[in-house]
Structure 1
């Protein structure tokens, strides 16, 4: 096996810090599922926290412009409208991409270094891309716990919703570096695959983003949230005791290595011809994605209760 000199690898890491572009981590519909799971969990475990978060979100600067028309749907009950508000909040950081006032591109991920050809898999070293998802989570957590006005807390709540989802998407914690991607694969965005021979070439990140749900209407999202809560209960998730986002990110980094990249055995194709995924890949990783989304929803509920406990 060809092995890069360590100095070459380090220079590649420095180059990889420039101009990184990411697509969404989980698609918008999947982020909405996380919000829906957190809503129903809080409804059962802490109605007072639920009411406080709903009140905060109604003070969001974008409430009238982006959300009020959707929430006026006469087919929705008052309870469903509040759940829909949680869904919309969870996707808001993706909806405002490109708006300088609120958008923070680097907040959506962290680049732990996965360089299997060098036997490197490190969580104490990251590619420097600005403020990471870990830093962003902490900053918004502090705002929610502070005496800031509810309009500022509403923005922070949206980010906490969204970042909790993002950090549970394995490819939002990982930079694969090898001979094909000496400057990193941008969390799977450059890693070209096909689900089947007859399918078009896409990237691995996009595959994981949309694996669970494509439709972002209220009913589709709500139904999937109900299904996931039924098949993946809190009692099945021993990880729920780990309340630190640093730990969550390391869990995802391990999932990326072991499952998304299959311990460096998953081949990557080219822009013109993506490598076909192994026949069992989808069936293997879909339950992992489902568990991660359910886990994110439960952890989000726990986080909100802790942040508003004072």
Structure 2
């Protein structure tokens, strides 16, 4: 009874801890998710693309930043359109720390409580961190379907692109709390690892961020998107039948427990010396990361059709 009471006290205490998480996937992977949504819409709902592109061209960054970037690459018109989706998908990370008006740090994640030492894994409540990814997604969907100016809709679109990607990254849905991380591991940022004994120390979040793609150029993102659609057809992803963002976040939370942290068996190193990942870790989790990116791309396309077809 004493141990149970202590566990309850720990959980109550956790509810008052603010545990920020870093942004991710990385920008390149977000670009690939945007590209995948573009490719999917171009195949299944091409009539919707002009409407989306018209809105995105009203974005405050389009004339002075995005248009010159596209022109410099000498892309075809269709490639420019796809690249605009890529830029939109990464934009919420681009403004982090540089554009206080548009930057909303807490929108990128939700901290469901994962405290395995206390036997706690809760997806019916979250640590207080400000507006969560769930609230941000609902807000921006509402804006997109409202009568606000297209410039505001363009910003909402960028957030929907980006948050759809973020919610499929398992480390954006969990806060690991325990003896080593009494205030949480900040989405894996404090969880120090090495890929091999001779490798430099990094962190779990950074590893997951860049697992699939590190080059943020147009052709690399386009190639990954094409590979994802070829490797994962819709029939291979029964989860696509659930259009609810809360359900997506809970899927990711379960993946964090089972696969990212391996049911609390994955060992974290010290600040200066990361723990070497198990030999089979990368081979085990990389297909999971790929499937999550594919789900994000398809779900983003489906959400855009649902919100803007009428």
Range into which the TM-score falls when normalised by the shorter chain: over 0.9
2:79 is matched with which residue?
Answer: 80
Shift of 1:69: 1.1
Contact kept? 1:4, 1:118, Cα under 8 Å: no
Give 1:185 deviation, angstroms: 0.9
Shift of 1:16: 2.5
Partners in 2 of 1:250 and 1:96 — Cα distance? 27
SS in 1 for 2:175: strand
- The aligned counterpart of 1:67 is 66
Shift of 1:41: 0.3
Residues 9 and 182, structure 1, Cα contact 8 Å, conserved in 2: no
RMSD, aligned α-carbons = 1.4
CA contact (8 A) 1:15 1:183 kept: no
Moved more, 154-163 or 45-54: 45-54
Normalising by structure 1, what TM-score?
0.96
Map of 2:188 onto structure 1:
188
Q: How does 1:143-158 map to 2 (within 5 A)?
A: 143-158=143-158
Deviation at 1:75, TM superposition (A): 3.1
Q: CA deviation at 1:129?
A: 0.3
Q: Secondary structure at the match of 2:159?
A: helix
Q: Which residue does 2:245 correspond to in 1?
A: 245
Secondary structure at the counterpart of residue 72 of structure 2: coil
**Aligned residue pairs, count:** 307
* Residue of structure 2 equivalent to 1:127: 127
Aligned equivalents of 1:22 and 1:247: distance in 2? Answer: 20
Gaps of 5+ in 1: none
What's the counterpart of residue 113 of structure 1? 113
- Between the aligned partners of 1:243 and 1:16, the Cα distance in structure 2 is 31
**CA distance in structure 2 between the partners assigned to 1:40 and 1:92 by the alignment:** 19
Contact 2:21–2:172 (Cα < 8 Å) also in 1: no
Corresponding residue of 1:283:
283
8 Å contact from structure 2 (residues 16, 127) kept in 1: no
Deviations 1:3-26 (A, max 9, x none): 892355136414531xx4432211
In the alignment, the residues of structure 1 paired with residue 121 and residue 166 of structure 2 have an alpha-carbon distance, to the nearest angstrom, of 20
Q: Could you tell me how far apart the structure 1 residues matched to 2:133 and 2:177 are?
A: 20
Alignment check: 8 A CA contact 2:22 2:187 kept: no
Distance in structure 1 (CA, Å) of the matches to 2:138 and 2:246: 10
Q: SS of the residue aligned with 2:197?
A: coil
- Is 1:94 the counterpart of 2:93? The answer is yes
Counterpart-to-counterpart distance in 1, 2:292 and 2:8: 36
Separation in 2 of the partners of 1:241 and 1:14?
Answer: 32
Specify the SS of the correspondent of 1:211.
coil
Contact map agreement 2:164 2:296 (CA 8 A) in 1: yes
Encode CA deviations 1:229-258: one digit per residue, 9 max, x unaligned: 111111110000110000000000000000
Deviates more, 1:247-256 or 1:113-122: 113-122
Checking the alignment, whether the CA contact within 8 Å between 1:212 and 1:286 is kept in structure 2 is yes
Structure 2, unpaired ranges of 5+: none
Aligned to 1:256: 256
**C-alpha distance in structure 2 between counterparts of 1:265 and 1:305, whole Å:** 41
Deviation (angstroms), 1:74: 5.4
Distance across 2 between alignment mates of 1:59 and 1:188: 36
